[in-house]
């Protein structure tokens, strides 16, 4: 049985286009920040959500509700 791939998604909009910010400050003690690439969302913060790849759509629908 294959391992299910996990992906990072935005906790606000559920987009999988979340990126880790690289801080130039010399490293440790600096909390990582994650950015959502979705322009309508614009999330940035210290957390992301990790879901299994085949559940990403479900997660996104749960966040956005029925459209
Ligand atoms: Zn987002």
| DSSP secondary structure, 34-51, as one string | EEE--TTT--EES--EEE
Q: Structure tokens of 28?
A: 């440790």
Interval 7-65: pLDDT, tens: 999 999 999 999 988 766 666 666 688 999 999 999 999 999 999 999 999 999 998 88
**Dihedral of the alpha carbons of 2, 54, 51, 22, in degrees to the nearest 10:** 90
CA distances from 15 to 1, 2, 25, 29 (A): 27, 24, 28, 27
Residue 39 Cα to ligand 1 midpoint, Å, equals 8
Give residues whose Cβ lies within 5 Å of ion ligand 1.
Answer: 10, 12-13, 15, 36, 38, 41, 43
pTM for the whole structure: 0.75
The domain limits of the chain are 6-64
Residue 1 Cα to ligand 1 midpoint, Å, equals 32
């Amino acid at each position: 049985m294959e391992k299910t791939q996990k992906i990072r998604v935005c906790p606000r909009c559920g987009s999988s286009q979340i990126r880790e910010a690289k801080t130039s400050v010399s490293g440790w003690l600096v909390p990582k920040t994650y950015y959502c690439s979705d322009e309508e969302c614009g999330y940035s913060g210290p957390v992301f959500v990790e879901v299994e790849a085949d559940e990403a759509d479900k997660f996104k629908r749960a966040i956005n509700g029925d459209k």
